[in-house]
Amino acid sequence: MYNQYGGAIFGIISRIIKDGMVAEEVLQQTMLKAWKNIDLYNPDKSSLYTWLHSIARNSAIDKVRLKSYQNQQKTDTINPNVHEGRAAKIATDKIDVDKITASLDEKYKVVLDKMYLEGYSQREIADELDIPLGTVKTRLRKAILFLREELKGEKALFIGMLLSLAALLILLW
Amino acid sequence: MRLNEIRESGLLELYVLGELNKSEKETVLKAISFFPELKKELTLIENAFLFYAKLHAIKPDDYQNNGIIISSITIGLTALLMLLWQ
């Protein structure tokens, strides 16, 4: 579970919690919570990843709402070297993300990022972007439809590569 | 709600994100039991979210791995001790 989804889950937590050390603590709490409550997971309701994501997102949001966390962040702003944070590492795969989302309309991407990666609620996005709730729903859906098409393309490419490799092996044989 | 209506409403995406209120959630669950093909639709949405999350994945430090292993062993040992105690 950790090996398969740890990176993806940590990416989400790190978008909500900028402090790298605290983000890692929340990742650890998420995995332990999932492990302890695995009996509550119902595969008929969601995939394992979706379930994990929901635990991680809620844990991260709860953490940033804590007064103690907010006070710590204020102290760290005065003394920025206390925790290095993950901002630099987040940028590592930015090229891939940019390549894939290059043709995704910015207005859809903003909604997707805020809701999925940064833990915003529909209402918070609607207020911040000054758009109706219905528009938030529509934009999120459009972004997901775009990702579904991209994913289909990635799979087709992978199968194509496998077939080419198989053909090459047969030829060499 | 008709099949296409629920597909196009954006409710399924929000259901996956856990962003629905109680009545919206009931609507989705009722629709899924009525239209089993929505299950496949949900899987496609979940896969799209996972795909996006993997694009933004960050590898945690190794000590994180060790922390989880140590905590897991501690929990396992505690459970074992409790069983033996009984």
**Which CATH number covers residue A37?**
1.10.1740.10
Better-scored residue on pLDDT, A32 or B2: A32
Strand segments, DSSP code E, in A54-102 are none
Average pLDDT of chain A, as a whole number: 84
ipTM for the complex? 0.76
* B62 touches A at CB < 8 Å: no
Q: Is B44 on the interface with A (CB under 8 A)?
A: yes
Which structural domain range is residue B23 located in?
Answer: 3-85
Q: Do A161 and A120 share a structural domain?
A: yes
Closest CA in chain B for residue A120: B19
The verdict on A158 touching B (C-beta cutoff 8 Å) is no
Q: Which of the given ranges, A73-77, A166-170, B16-20, has the highest pLDDT on average?
A: B16-20
| A91 pLDDT more than 60 | no
Final residue belonging to a domain, choices A92, A122, A138: A92
Average pLDDT over residues A34-46: 90
Is A84 a member of any domain? yes
Residues A6 and A72 in one domain: yes
Residues A64 and A149 in one domain: no
Q: How far apart are CA A129 and CA A109, in angstroms?
A: 13
Number of domains in chain A: 2
| Domain tally, chain B | 1
CB-CB contact of A15 with A118 (8 Å)? yes
pLDDT score for A129: 96
Cβ–Cβ gap B53/A12 under 8 Å: yes
Whether residue A97 lies inside any domain: the answer is no
Interface contacts A/B by beta carbons within 8 Å:
117
- Taking the Cβ of residue B71 and every Cβ of chain A, the question of whether any pair is shorter than 8 Å is answered with yes
DSSP letters of B8-30?
HTSHHHHHHTT---HHHHHHHHH
| A136 vs A142: CA distance, rounded Å | 10
Judgement on whether residues A49 and A128 belong to the same structural domain of the protein: no
Asked if A90's CB is within 8 angstroms of B56's CB, the reply is yes
With respect to residue A27, please indicate whether it lies within any of the assigned structural domains.
yes
Q: What is the pLDDT of residue A83?
A: 40
* Whether residue A116 sits in one domain with residue A73: no
> pLDDT-based confidence at A81, cuts 50/70/90?
very low
pTM of the model: 0.74
- Residue A57 belongs to a domain: yes
Query: Cβ–Cβ of B56/A11 closer than 8 Å?
Result: yes
Backbone CA torsion sign across A16, A22, A28, A30: negative
Q: What is the DSSP string of A88-122?
A: HHHGGGHHHHHHHHTTS-HHHHHHHIIIIIS---H
Q: Which domain holds residue A59?
A: 1-92
Task: Tell me if A98 is assigned to some domain.
Answer: no
Decide if A133 contacts A101 (C-beta within 8 A): no
Residue A118: give its domain's CATH number.
1.10.10.10
Mean pLDDT of B66-82: 69
